[in-house]
Structure 1
Amino acid sequence: MIRQASTEDAEAIARIYNQNLDEQGFANCDLTPQTAEYRLKAMMESGDRYPTFVSTSDDGRVLGWSSLKRWSTRPDIADVAEIAIYVDRSRRGNIVGAQLLCHLLARPGRTSSGRFATMTSSWRASSIRRAWGWPSSARSGRSSASSRA
């Protein structure tokens, strides 16, 4: 089940985020672990326009999370939302990430303009492109950093 994250999810969200630091040495260009307090503050500041969602198991355990945040304050791209998706290492390869992405992309108008941007490691990029049928360089009319959903 996918639902909007609550304050009780902050610890699990931080734990899953920090797994990327353990495995890759970075997560979304961060080099230091995040605390539950940091994630909770980020969720509160993002509000309803840029929400955080969690995918949970039948027993309520958080399997992964996704969020949107403002990509830039530049007027010409101020409506672009950055996508972040993190999946617990024990659940990777089990469509949790794809479900979270579909949930975000199905929400244009409620959370953003429908223009999104993301950064991903090269080893993940090819599977994302194949899953969505995108060419080897997904581009919009303006830049390679954003694409229309």
Structure 2
Amino acid sequence: MNTDIETRLATKEDLQSILQIYNQGIEDRVATLEEDQKGLDYMEDWFSQHNERFAVVVAVQNNEVVGWASLNRYSNRCAYNGVTDLSIYIKREYRGRGIGSILLSNIERIAMKNNFNKIVLFTLPFNKLGQGLYRDTTHD
């Protein structure tokens, strides 16, 4: 595992990096069904919908954001208050280095602390790195 990676809660100052990484995921067509690149206004609106409970975490190496994870609202229905959706995106040149596992472990701890009892996600079947990450049971 990559030991020189630090994780922390994201700030507005991270949005440009988060946006760049998200747009790489859109461009590469392995992590999302989105087709159109997003702009900073989109990302600012997205970030404003997150809070302490629906956290956004960044992975940082040498003062550079190299990945991020977020807990997202699964549904507005009160029956789903204990359910959250998960997103993890890694900067293209850093994929496959264990950063996803670090982010997953961190965001799982935050989810438990915030009283989520279920995390759901969608991963495309041809996203081999994502499939491997979510099947890995050693990240606890």
Report the TM range for the smaller structure's normalisation: 0.7 to 0.9
Q: Distance in 2 between matches of 1:36 and 1:27?
A: 19
Q: Among residues 112, 119, 124, which one is paired with 2:122 in the alignment?
A: 119
- Aligned counterpart for 2:14 among listed residues 9, 14, 21: 9
- After superposition, the C-alpha distances for 1:59-93 in whole angstroms (9 at most, x for unaligned) are x1010000011101233323200000000010001
Query: Matched residue pairs, number?
Result: 132
The yes-or-no answer on 1:87 pairing with 2:98 is no
Q: TM-score, normalised on structure 2?
A: 0.83
Name the CA distance, whole Å, in 2 between partners of 1:40 and 1:121.
Answer: 26
Could you say which structure has the larger radius of gyration?
Answer: 1
Gaps of 5+ in 2: 1-5
Could you tell me which residue of structure 2 aligns to residue 75 of structure 1?
78
Corresponding residue for residue 143 of structure 1:
none
Aligned equivalent of 1:46: 50
RMSD: 2.1
2:81–2:116 Cα contact (<8 Å) kept = no
Gaps of 5+ in 1: 134-148
Contact 1:3 1:53 in 2 (8 A): yes
| Alpha-carbon offset, residue 126 of structure 1 | 3.9
Distance 1:20 1:43 in 2: 17
